Amino acid sequence: MANKMTVLEQAEQKALVTRCKMEGIEVIGIENSLQFPIKAVLDIVKPFLNDRELATVKSRLNTLMATMTNKRYAQGMKKGCPDMFFPQLKLFIELKRRDGGVVSKEQEECHKMLRECGFTVEVAHGAKEAWEIIKKLI
């Protein structure tokens, strides 16, 4: 049996942005999380550290990420904000992987607030589904 390839959400977002640029549709990506490849950094430094040192580095990286995330929340980052905004269409799209991804409670609450402010908010599984939503509004 062949392995099913999982397409990452970031790849879907890149594909959608590329299509929108080709069609002249403005899109603003909203970074509403702070992602840092802690595991990748630990994999790089692991050969040079003993277990205790590696644990210390991991702890310090986690503390740094928590501090940076709290700073971004204080500066207006909002949990649950959709991934993409299309100003011309007054549309927000929460983009999920084609083969999964669920809407969190924070996302549901943020989507509700945005709808109450008069915006359209949609959840799309993959770039193709997102493009179908956009086509209906242009």
Per residue in 105-129, pLDDT (tens digit) is 999 999 999 999 999 999 999 999 9
* pLDDT greater than 80 at residue 27: yes
Residues 6+ apart with CB under 8 A from 12: 95, 97, 98, 126, 127, 130
End-to-end alpha carbon distance in the chain:
41
Q: According to the model, what pLDDT value does residue 2 have?
A: 45
CATH 1.10.580.10, applies to 9-32+79-137: no
User: What is this structure's pTM?
Assistant: 0.77
Segment among 33-37, 61-65, 81-85, 116-120 with least mean pLDDT: 33-37
- Every domain of the chain and the residues it spans: 9-32+79-137, 38-74
> Mean pLDDT across the stretch 44-62?
96
Residue 1 has pLDDT above 50, yes or no: no
Out of 14-18, 73-77, 92-96, which region has the weakest mean confidence (pLDDT)? 73-77
H/E segment holding residue 95: strand 91-96
What average pLDDT score do residues 28-34 get? 78
Written as six digits, the tokens of 96 are: 């999920």
